[in-house]
């Protein structure tokens, strides 16, 4: 780690925190209610210098690592987790994924536009019948003269309703792992955006269905070699899961701060309610959970930045942090009582946002299995 990394990280997080406090926090409830992103948010995030946070400087990126990703995503999620989710889909699921797996020509064509906010990206893996079992997808691409013809439907795609370009996974052979990756632009013939989905939480992040009916994809938009996409998926999972875990940190910290403020101001029976043991115990546990999760998340990020696989560490961090954030959200509602249950106060929104993080990017149940498989792999050597 660079000697000045702590200073660099502190400056980065303080800059993002100030931006989010001004540009997101005052509008988070409105964006949730209206189920939309803040207008021009990708351009403003680009001006902040974080759209290409892990991308090479030659494409306009910041060339930072997973630790920086964690710092940025915690601060954005403290203000509005939905905006951060769309940022994650653009920055990690598309831009970072592309840079890890694409050719120089493909990077030169798409990455600069993503980093300046001219293009909004996303990734299309999940299908109506294939979620946790990603390699069970049925979308198919057939080789034709000059390219491929893609057919299928993708579901629960973050940035689907607004995206300009997507990394789309499809089956290209008979084997279970014969999957390939394609760069699909919004204007390609045969590509259509289906219905926008109305969600319990993360409502400021647009989510939708993508439909491919004889969609022609030029040969130059195949990423890597045919049938090589399982490796693409695995290569990107660690940083995606660490990013999602970092979002849980932001949510939990926001719930803790709202609970502390309320408990120090609200009086019952002639005393501040923070003096009541039942309330103070909840707040203490919020802090303990947040700090423990933070240690796990930053440890996993450090492993990634050292160039090692963080499969087990990232899975553990995401499970613990996401479940902690949901629990903290529920406890924050309890601390605020009736006020916590109404939309005038943000903790009910934060709790709804938190729940997604136990599902997306690998459910807690699947990730516990990942942890065990890593133990089995290590002990079998």
Per residue, what are the HEC states of 117-143?
CCCCEEEECCECCECCCHHHCCCEEEE
Distances (CA, A) of 304 to 138, 231, 236, 242: 32, 16, 11, 9
Does the pLDDT value for residue 53 go beyond 70? yes
Is pLDDT of 1 > 50?
A: no
Considering the chain, what is the average pLDDT of its residues?
Answer: 95
DSSP string, 84-100: HHHHHIIIIIIIIHHHH
**Stretch among 141-145, 335-339, 377-381 having the lowest mean pLDDT:** 377-381
Helix (H, G, I), strand (E, B) or coil at 322: helix
Residue 234, pLDDT score? 83
Read off the pLDDT of residues 112-129 as tens digits, 9 standing for 90 and up: 999 999 999 999 999 999
Per-residue pLDDT at 231: 85
- Given this model, what pLDDT does residue 142 score? 97
Q: How does DSSP classify residue 92?
A: I
Catalytic one among 75, 127, 240, 313?
Answer: 240
Q: What CA–CA distance (Å, rounded) separates 124 from 234?
A: 15
Which residue is listed with tokens 């919020």?
286
Question: How does strand 121-124 pair with strand 165-171?
Answer: parallel
pTM of the model: 0.95
Q: At residue 306, what are phi and psi to the nearest 5 degrees? A: -85, 0
The confidence band for 131, taking pLDDT boundaries of 50, 70 and 90, is: confident
The partner residues of 169 in beta bridges, in order of sequence, read: 181
For the stretch 25-40, what's the b/e string if a residue is b when 16 or more beta carbons lie within 10 angstroms of its beta carbon? eebbbebbeebbbbee
Q: What is the pLDDT of residue 199?
A: 97
pLDDT average, residue stretch 214-225: 97
Q: 44-48, 157-161, 175-179, 247-251: lowest mean pLDDT where?
A: 175-179
Give the whole-angstrom CA distance, residue 366 versus residue 243. Answer: 17
Across 55-64, 129-138, 140-149, 364-373, least confident range: 129-138
> Residue 15: how many CB atoms within 10 A of its CB?
15
- pLDDT tens per residue across span 148-158: 999 999 999 99
Longest dimension (CA), the chain: 80
Active site residue 34: no
Helix axes 229-265, 277-305, angle to 10 degrees: 150
Q: Which residue, among 167, 20, 191, has the nearest Cα to 100 in the 3D structure?
A: 167
pLDDT in tens, 270-283: 999 999 999 999 99
């Amino acid at each position: 780690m660079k000697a000045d990394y702590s200073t660099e990280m502190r400056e980065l997080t303080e800059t993002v925190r100030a931006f989010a406090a001004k540009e997101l926090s005052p509008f988070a409830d409105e964006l949730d209610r209206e189920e939309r992103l803040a207008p021009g948010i990708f351009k403003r995030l680009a001006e902040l210098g974080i759209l290409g946070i892990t991308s090479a400087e030659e494409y306009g990126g910041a060339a930072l690592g997973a630790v920086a990703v964690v710092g940025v995503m915690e601060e954005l999620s403290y203000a509005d987790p939905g905006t951060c989710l769309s940022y994650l889909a653009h920055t990690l699921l598309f831009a970072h994924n592309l840079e890890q797996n694409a050719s120089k020509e493909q990077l030169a064509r798409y990455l600069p536009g993503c980093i300046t906010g001219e293009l909004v990206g996303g990734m299309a893996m999940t299908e109506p019948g294939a979620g946790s079992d990603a390699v069970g997808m049925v979308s198919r691409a057939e080789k034709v003269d000059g390219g491929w013809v893609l057919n299928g439907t993708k579901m629960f795609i973050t940035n689907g309703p607004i995206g300009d370009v997507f990394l789309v996974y499809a089956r290209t052979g008979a084997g279970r792992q014969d999957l390939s990756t394609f760069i699909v632009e919004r204007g390609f013939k045969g590509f259509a955006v289906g219905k926008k989905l109305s969600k319990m939480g993360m409502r400021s992040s647009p989510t939708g269905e993508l439909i491919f009916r004889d969609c022609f994809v030029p040969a130059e938009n195949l990423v890597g070699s045919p049938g090589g996409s399982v490796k693409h998926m695995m290569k990107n999972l660690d940083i995606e899961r660490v990013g999602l875990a970092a979002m849980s940190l932001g949510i939990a910290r926001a719930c803790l701060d709202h609970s502390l403020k309320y408990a120090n101001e609200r009086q019952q029976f002639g005393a501040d309610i923070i003096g009541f043991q039942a309330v103070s115990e909840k707040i203490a546990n919020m802090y303990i959970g947040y700090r423990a999760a933070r240690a796990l998340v930053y440890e996993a990020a450090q492993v990634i930045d050292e160039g090692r696989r963080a499969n087990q560490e990232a899975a553990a961090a995401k499970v613990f942090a996401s479940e902690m954030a949901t629990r903290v959200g529920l406890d924050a509602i309890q601390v605020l009582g009736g006020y916590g249950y109404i939309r005038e106060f943000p903790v009910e929104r934060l709790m709804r946002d938190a729940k997604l993080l136990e599902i997306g990017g690998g459910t807690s149940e699947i990730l516990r299995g990942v942890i065990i498989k890593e133990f089995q792999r290590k002990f079998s050597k």
